[in-house]
Amino acid sequence: MGLTRRIIPCLDIKDGRVVKGTNFVGLRDAGDPVELASRYNQQGADEVVFLDITASKEKRSMIIDVIQRAADELFLPLTVGGGIRTIDDIQKTLRAGADKISINTSAVENPNLISEAANSFGTQCIVVAVDVKRRTEDSIDKTRIPLQDGNSCWYEVVTHGGSKPTGIDAIKWAMEAETRGAGEILLTSMETDGTKEGFDIPITAAISDNVGIPVIASGGVGTMEHFYDGFVYGKADAALAASVFHYGEMTVTQVKEYLTKKGIPIRPPGK
C-alpha cells in the first residue's frame, strides 16, 4: 500500500453537468463540473474523477471539452471514465488533459484492451473500474467471502452501470486486470452505492489482499468514519465519494483533518 491515503471526489457528468442519484436513478443537477472540481482542488483533494454517465458517442465531444477546461484550470490529477472503448478513445481523452482513464464495461468485454492500453500509455494511466454485486448461491469456482452477519457470499462483476451480470468472480477479475497491466482498481459495490451506510468492507479488503496495485474504495460514504473504515478495515489505498461532497455535507478538508487525528497518513490540505 502507498504511504499516504488519497481522498478523491467523483463527478458524474451528464450533458456537461454534474448529476447525482441513488443507484443511477433520481438524478439531480449538482453544478458545473469544472467549478466543482476547482472547489475540491482548493479543499485539498488528491485527485478528481470525471465519469461520463451517458457515455454515448455523440456526447464524447462534450466531455472532451470539459476535460480541456478542467486541465487548464486545475492542478491535481484527473481521471476520466465512461464510454471509453478503444485505444483511440483513450488517446483522445489523455490528449485532452486527463492524467488517467478508467475503463469498465469495455475491459470486461475485451480484456486485451487493458494490455494494449498499458503497453501504449503506461500502467500508471490505466484504471480498471470494477462494479460488483453480492451473490449468495453456491458456485464451485467462485471465491466466497465471510460477511459481518456470519453468512458468506461471492461477488459478481456487473457491467452497464450495474445492470448486466457477467458471471465473473470479482476477485479473480481484479487479479487478471492487474496481470494485464491495470495500474489501479476502482471498486464500487452496488450493494452500498448511494446508501450512505459505508463502503462494502468485505470485498474491498479481499481485493486489496489479492492485488499488489492500489485499490480505490467507492460506493456508500455517509460519514467521516466511513473513510476511516475503508482505509483501516477495507485496506484501501484511496477513497472516492460524490454526494457528501457535492451537497456540502462535508468538505475534503474536514475529512482530511478527521483522518489525520485518527492517525491515517494523509497528504494535508493545501500541500
Half-sphere exposure of 153 (CA within 13 A, CB side): 16
Euclidean distance between CA atoms 23 and 163, whole angstroms: 10
Distance CA 19, CA 13 (A): 6
- Which three-class secondary structure state does DSSP give residue 95? helix
User: Rounded distance, CA 153 to CA 46, Å?
Assistant: 33
φ, ψ of residue 150 to 5 degrees: the values are 95, -15
Cell of 64: 472532451
Concatenating the DSSP letter of every residue in 149-208 gives: TS-EEEEEEEETTTTEEEEEEHHHHHHHHHHHT-SEEEEEETTTTTT-S---HHHHHHHH
**Number of H-type helices and E-type strands within the chain:** 10, 13
Displacement of CA 219 from its chain's centroid (Å):
8
Catalytic sites, residue numbers: 12, 131
Per-residue cell: 110: 475485451
461471492: which residue's cell?
A: 154
